Amino acid sequence: MTHAQVLLRAYARATNMLIAGRRFVTSDPELASLLEAFGAQVTPEPSREGSSGLETVFVLSDQARPHPGAITVVAPNGTFEGVYAPNGSSISGPGDDGRIAWARMHMPVTEAAVRRIAHLLPGRRIGLALVLEPKTAALALMLSEAGAEVSVFGHASETRDDVADELRREGLKVFADSQASPEQEETLAREFLAENVEYLLDDGSHLIRMAHDPKRAPTALSAMIGAAEETTSGLRPLRHFPLSIPVIASNDARSKTLFDNAYGTGQSCWTTVLDIIDPDGLGAPIPGMKVGIIGYGDVGKGCARFARALGARVSVVELDPVRALQARMDGFTVAPLGELASTAGLLMSATGEPSTIPLSALEALPEDAIVTVAGGVVGEVEVEQALAAGWTLSEAGDPHVQRLADPTGKSLRLLEKGEGINYTAGEGNPIEIMDMSFGVQVAALTELLTHGDDLAPGLHNLPIQADNAVAQAALDALRGVGNAQ
């Protein structure tokens, strides 16, 4: 499976595109098996009618060359050489020029949704507090080009400075710096909210809650008509928060949570982890490894499923007996955390809750075990508690890996200091997934623009018709039918 894993990762890293649901062409049985385990549609021959960019072709022959009109992974005799766009240009990953344009090219659902409300956007003040990477930039530019006054905030660990700089060059107000200290990040957040946006699209609900604090954002609520929140961890505190504005629970839309959380986060977390622990691209030693997934919500289901696809021996920790039963019937071992941690080669939290990986679990893990977080909130791994108990945290020669050592000298590999691995070390969820999620966010914005004055303060679901429309547009885009744009 080694060459298949390496080639799958090369595709994901170069394109930041989805595997599940997409069409792939390969005659290599191991690669086909792995792609199918990730949910791909696999065929040995390209479509006769032409792929029109909808297929990805893996060419492994001696004289491998890019396939016209398709994304092509070129690997003569199975040795990776490069990834090529449908026009034949080379693509390698996040550092490529034109990365925002590449993302936007594959976001027909969001593009169409913005176009439908373009007549409502001129002069509207819209704030985006999202992971600041190319897909978010594409959304910001769509809204700005339609006439909205767009401001963008990004947490330091979730900001790509090159993307922020590009948005500034396009005339948008950006409040983000990847090197910002906590105090500087607080200042940036206050300055963002001082723009008095009318509509706020948030990730984590940090800015929605901050807008309600008159000491930190004294004028924000006077202008804000409504907001939308796109994450599970962001909605959790809002369910018990005294909201003064209507907030659309975008994450509760089926076309968001069933796909972004499971397929998107599952794929992006695992491909990012593999690239970190196997930087030379020789094949990460996941087959046969004991992997523990904590939590069996939608994120946990995706992470467990993709771990199994990669050949891991997967066990699940889940406190909810219904979800634990689901995990069992999905073929996973269900075990208490202490028992699972004692033999795990990799432990992944998929809950979005603090202290999911407590000090006791860190103490139980074997030497050199990997600790990581899918998605995540601050404190999901009890690093501070470990340091207070005499553990030490040091750099490991890789900017994405730290060594967490106990007083006896046992050392664990902690990825990205326990923050969400896919958006801190990777490029976030695949483009098609974020196209759906942003399609939901734009649908929520549409609801606020058209009915915001009639909505009471508090959480509101996205209307089912809007939810279904996003899913239908995404299905049409994957199948290459209809007209999402």
Is the predicted pLDDT of residue 237 greater than 70, yes or no?
yes
Compute the residue count for the chain: 485
Is the predicted pLDDT of residue 25 greater than 50, yes or no?
yes
The crossing angle, in degrees rounded to 10, of helices 108-116 and 464-479 is: 140
* 214's tokens: 């008159």
- pLDDT of 299 reads 95
Run of H or E residues at 398 = strand 392-398
Mean of the pLDDT values across residues 395-424? 95
The crossing angle, in degrees rounded to 10, of helices 134-145 and 431-451 is: 40
- What is the C-alpha radius of gyration for the chain, rounded to an integer number of angstroms? 22
**pLDDT for 152-190, tens place per residue?**
999 999 999 999 999 999 999 999 999 999 999 999 999
Query: 49-67 burial string, b = 16+ CB within 10 Å, else e?
Result: eebeebbbbbbbeeebebb
Calpha distance 81→76 (Å, rounded): 7
What SS3 class is residue 145? helix
Is the predicted pLDDT of residue 222 greater than 60, yes or no?
yes
DSSP string, 62-82: TT--PPTTSEEEE-GGG---E
Give the pLDDT band (50/70/90) at residue 485: very low
* 31's tokens: 């690669």
Calpha distance 165→139 (Å, rounded): 15
**pLDDT for 259-317, tens place per residue?**
999 999 999 999 999 999 999 999 999 999 999 999 999 999 999 999 999 999 999 99
Calpha distance 457→441 (Å, rounded): 18
* 125's tokens: 């003040």
**pLDDT for 59-83, tens place per residue?**
999 888 898 889 999 999 999 999 9
Give the pLDDT band (50/70/90) at residue 255: very high
Do 379 and 355 form a contact (C-beta atoms < 8 A)? yes
